[in-house]
Structures are given as structure tokens and as C-alpha cells.
Amino acid sequence: MAEYQAPMAEKLRKSVGNVTYYIMHGKTFARAKVAHVKNAKTPKQLRHRATFTMLVQLARVLIETTRTGFPEKAKGRSSSNEFVRANKNFVEVDENYEATIDLEKLQVSGGKLPCFFEVTVTYNADGRMLVFQQEAQSNSLLNSDPKDLLYASILETKTNLSGIVSLRARGESGVTSIELPEIWTVENCNVYLFATSENGYLASPSQHVKITTA
């Protein structure tokens, strides 16, 4: 039987930045441009500024996720700092200093735990339900701990909103269902899976997962 969870509206986060999204070759990309650059001196500095601006804006959108997904912070660093650090090599900056990142490469978490999940994600239009079908993983599989906790982060690119959903432990099988907010469309949703240790002190990298339609 599916486990129903309430709509995520009260947990949604939105950026005040100017990140825009587009689709090319079936993939969704995020793009940002530095509107004003003060005291910029070299092309390298401009590229760095464009990269940093994009990732900071995405970090604002995903703040609830990154607080869970980046627990292994260096002293003096925030989860947003770790998010920027994890994704800086995935950003491309063109000659106009527009920064672009493929959302399938985006990392919403990071750490030493195994990044392997037997979870499928299906959208059921009746009731606007997103359904996560999870298969149990043994502790012998890639040295994973069956007590690790799984999460799904959802980024909706039209509204620039995100939410995080608690799934089950690695060692459990079952179904978790959530209702999408009314202002979301499933075509604009990107889903990322990741795990944390039971105590939340460790995390895994994230994995982008395609949504299928029932």
C-alpha cells in the first residue's frame, strides 16, 4: 500500500535570482548571466563570477535539500558553500559570460556514502501523485548500510521552486507517494535521489532520476 504524504507547498523554496531554464536534446539546462560586474579585471575573474552567481542562486532554490544533503561541512563552511564546491566543475561559461549547467549533472548532496538506489519514480495524473517505488538494498551491496535514509529532492523549473521528500531506509521496500503542488507541472520536475546515514552525519552524492508516466 502506498504511503501518502501531504502536499509540499509549505516546504517549497524559491530563488530571488534570475536563473532561467531551457530544454535542448531532451535535457534541461539552467542558465544565469551576471547582470552587473563591478571591478572585474580579467576573463578568468568574469567566468568565476558567472559560475559563482549561478550556483549561489541555485543554492537558494535548493536550500532545504542542501541542509540535509551536505552534512559533512568543513569548519566555517555552510551547506550552500558545499553545494557550490560540488558543482563548480559542471558549469560552462560562454563568451558572453552566461553560465550554464546540465541539470542531470547537478549534485544536490555530497559525501562518502554509496550513490546507488533501486528507486523508480512514476507520475500518476489521477490525483497528481508522484510515486516512489523502492527496492531493499542489502548491506553487502557496495558496503551500503540498510539503515541509511533515502531522500528525494524535486526541482520545478518553471516556478523555480523545490521540495524534499523523506523516503525509506535502504534496507526497506515499499512505496511512498506525494501530491504535487497545483502550480507545478510534472514535465518541469527534476528528481534527485540521495542518502544520509541514520544519524544524518554522512551523505551520498545525488543521482538524477527520470520520471515515467503511469
191 contacts 208 by C-beta, under 8 angstroms: yes
The Cα–Cα gap between 129 and 186 comes to: 10
Of 19-23, 100-104, 109-113, 138-142, the range with the lowest mean pLDDT is 138-142
Question: What digits encode the pLDDT tens for the residues 81-127?
Answer: 999 999 999 999 998 889 999 999 999 999 999 999 999 999 999 99
Give the pLDDT of residue 183.
94
Give the pLDDT of residue 20.
86
The Cα–Cα gap between 84 and 67 comes to: 13
Over the chain, what is the mean pLDDT? 87
Q: Would you list the domain boundaries of the chain?
A: 3-10+109-213, 14-102
Tell me how many degrees the CA angle 173-149-170 measures, rounded to the nearest 5.
Answer: 35
For 53, phi then psi, to 5°, come to -60, -45
CATH topology assigned to domain 3-10+109-213: Immunoglobulin-like (2.60.40)
Sheet holding 20-24, edge to edge: 20-24, 27-33, 98-102, 91-93
Residue 151: helix, strand or coil by DSSP? strand
**What is the pLDDT confidence band of residue 13, given thresholds at 50, 70 and 90?**
very low
Whether 6 shows a pLDDT value over 70: the answer reads no
Whether 12 shows a pLDDT value over 50: the answer reads no
**Number of helical (H) and strand (E) elements in the chain, helices listed first:** 3, 14
Question: What digits encode the pLDDT tens for the residues 43-56?
Answer: 888 888 889 999 99
53 contacts 31 by C-beta, under 8 angstroms: no
